[in-house]
Structure 1
């Protein structure tokens, strides 16, 4: 039985902030902490973060605040998740050699995608790694690094994602979890459950490969130096984390076949647990799950919260409560407006890094609320497309659990339910991946059973049948708008890339 005062610390390094929680073995949140950080967009198609300040410093400060709240002696384990797949090359002393290259919102490696497909075969890549290459895949970015920054490549002794970089700083060990590795397409063999070392040797000779562990496995213990920085006691177990979306899915009980998590954040992400082995279904990603024997299908939009924030700032809108009121005042269909949300390209379901945002149907009679409504509905149509694609590959979701900051105010979630025609369950705790990290630590430390679940559903977002027909009529127009504008948008995207450098 857990002892009195035992605590697990979970930390998630996200796109815009690092968040952490201290949790009892029963799932009660004892303390919370967060730190904002930046996102660098140095040129069109590039998205980066500074690993020292954005990843480690935020993680360190969050852990210290949590430890001060609960006491270092109570902490039985720590686990860190993060965005991904990301690429941070480090030297032999674990020091970053350049800023970290982010996940699918960074589209710099399009040429390397084509090169790897030509060298290895597109069908062969899908068959072996489970996914077609896209801006989400890490392998092309490794090749980009080798091709474009040979000096960095020659000095690289290890490479990391936010979760593994923080773990290395905490315990000195270099390890990557199987789920994160399975997003390193095409260099992870999904069926074999390990690195595709022959392909790595052919395409990336000399590339170091981290040891592989499962999320929740202990990979080391807090070092004396990390103890000084974080306040943790040296020797505190450090457990492997994973990519944030999958840790968040675990946190809300999305663990069994047919369970689906819909995550509202800076981007929007879906994860559905598969029933047995997965079959490749581009443009979805087939990956290892958090737990052995439970693989998953996933898809992600490149923008969501970031898109709404852009619209608000660009339109000079007031505080969010006022924005939501104006948006809600516009009727379903935004009085004849349709928007495409592809301000940073798109990942799922269209897999088009050259896609861009469009708003169609504007007239002098439209208001700021109408434009904001169209932006919300653009995201919702993207979700509808992802769910339809998932349904064809994995079967309809048994249950959909909604999480993330985008649930605040409830309007976006309601519009998604109305557009997609689905019911969403809302759990009591929607803290995010850090809560799942704490659960992984509790499982790894043996404080709870492996099948333990902390999630409790407290609400339901149901579709409004009175507006569903409106969106059913608009859905094919939304799809047509993308197809009809690519001939103009793609050359414009190329100009943006050229203007921003290559």
Structure 2
């Protein structure tokens, strides 16, 4: 036997990743698998939890353990995109495809139904946010309304990481952070299930046991060991939603710290010194006991870049970025509203639509790509202003995710927001945070351990401030001005029978130039 190692597994929108890490934070090995979500109807985004997620866990662990001594493995932790909804029978067999987080907008009517049923003020006061396409409760109500037979057969409901934990250990748990995104079922201030809401929405479904993300909740069963190659009895920690695991990996733990995640979607996690709320933000429990966070998320970022790359004939991304770098700041008057999959923050509108405005015959693909980066950055600036309006300033901004490997993207964000960004040396992401949770949960390293080390900083270029200030003002007027037309088009799209079978998107790590 060699030295101890810890296994972190993260299942994202475009890929699943696994990493083996030493107690000191050194990456020993890694593996990844790409995949694509199903889009069976407009507004629906799904995965087969068993055939894709659980199967990929097995493939990743067997690959890593074939190259490393399984006897050295001391702990496992899993994170995943979220909040997702998986409903199963007593044997933890899914009864339908998993329903994804805010990019799945099928439960619009149920969101309104539950808001009316409980009252918007009670929901906001209890859950720390309004119901939206991000909320799990409306997805459960949708299942009851539209697939009553499936709902009646179900006995358990999960998020992504808790589903994998159940498959590994046989334990039925939900980490507090993931639970705090199951609105309106969780009381953020009380750190417990909101009993009346759970009864009204989840009905007969058994309620999972609440745990913290670093808690060891069980051990790998013989059946799971046979499927995955992980030794029987290996401790398994609860894990959490990928963005919070990624924040944990980057050492975003102190009040005023903010993680900006450049991935298939853009996500923000802001650590709070005290409870704070905003109607356009999400107040959530953190990873460790007592931690509080405000969060926000944009529905497209890296996925929009990948869509454009495909639109341009799958030209290598490095070539496209090099072309876009030659375009002046402001893309010669071209603006992109990046709401191509509806939008979460800052507008919480599933019927928002992508917009390209200002096109002339002078503009080419390089302008479009740069304008897309700039459009995302204008949205990021709006969200940062919302976060700070609650009274918690952003004292330290840490940029993580595969998109940080595209220097143009981070540069544009710093230029438009006027913020310095710290980029860690390890950008492998949530799976690295999972491994750290496993090391802490098993007692191999003390609580408060931070593995992340800074690699470089991105400073704003003041020479671009004037042009971006002017275009930001214009950008901010666009959505309110054409919201009605967006909604009319969204209604037409919902009535359209033809729908692509899969999201065309590259995994986060392929955003490297």
Q: TM-score category by the smaller chain?
A: over 0.9
- Name stretches of at least 5 consecutive residues in structure 2 with no aligned partner: 500-513
State the match for 1:225 in structure 2: 223
Match of 2:312 among 312, 315, 340: 315
Q: Is the 8 A contact 1:37 1:58 kept in 2?
A: no
Q: Is the 8 A contact 2:299 2:344 kept in 1?
A: yes
State the match for 1:40 in structure 2: 38
Distance in 1 between the 2:15 and 2:128 partners? 31
Match of 2:412 among 410, 415, 439: 415
Q: How does 1:330-369 map to 2 (within 5 A)?
A: 330-369=327-366
State the match for 1:215 in structure 2: 213
Runs of 4 or more, structure 1, over 4 Å off, are none
Please tell me whether residue 384 in structure 1 is matched to residue 381 in structure 2: yes
State the match for 1:8 in structure 2: 6
- Name stretches of at least 5 consecutive residues in structure 1 with no aligned partner: none
Distance in 2 between the 1:111 and 1:394 partners? 33
Distance in 2 between the 1:298 and 1:272 partners? 6
Q: How does 1:151-300 map to 2 (within 5 A)?
A: 151-276=149-274, 278-300=275-297
Distance in 1 between the 2:464 and 2:362 partners? 22
C-alpha distance 417-500 of structure 1, shift in aligned 2 (>3 A): farther
Q: Is the 8 A contact 2:140 2:201 kept in 1?
A: no
Q: CA RMSD in A?
A: 1.3
Match of 2:65 among 64, 67, 72: 67
Distance in 1 between the 2:491 and 2:221 partners? 48
Structure 1 residue 501: deviation in Å?
Answer: 9.1
Q: Is the 8 A contact 2:89 2:156 kept in 1?
A: yes
Q: Is the 8 A contact 1:317 1:323 kept in 2?
A: no
Distance in 2 between the 1:462 and 1:384 partners? 15
State the match for 2:506 in structure 1: none
Residue range with higher mean Cα deviation, 200-209 or 406-415: 200-209
Distance in 2 between the 1:478 and 1:320 partners? 26
1:170 partner SS: helix
Structure 1 residue 26: deviation in Å?
Answer: 0.5
Distance in 2 between the 1:479 and 1:341 partners? 12
Tell me the number of residue pairs that the alignment of Structure 1 and Structure 2 aligns.
Answer: 499
CA displacement, residues 257-316 of structure 1 (integer Å, 9 cap, x when unaligned)? 01100000000000000002x232121000000011111000000000111111121133
Structure 1 residue 325: deviation in Å?
Answer: 1.0
Please tell me whether residue 427 in structure 1 is matched to residue 424 in structure 2: yes
CA displacement, residues 105-132 of structure 1 (integer Å, 9 cap, x when unaligned)? 0011010010011110001100001111
Residue range with higher mean Cα deviation, 54-63 or 343-352: 54-63
State the match for 2:469 in structure 1: 472
Q: Is the 8 A contact 1:180 1:242 kept in 2?
A: yes
Distance in 2 between the 1:428 and 1:412 partners? 17
State the match for 2:507 in structure 1: none
CA displacement, residues 30-85 of structure 1 (integer Å, 9 cap, x when unaligned)? 01011112211111111101111221111111112222222111000000000100
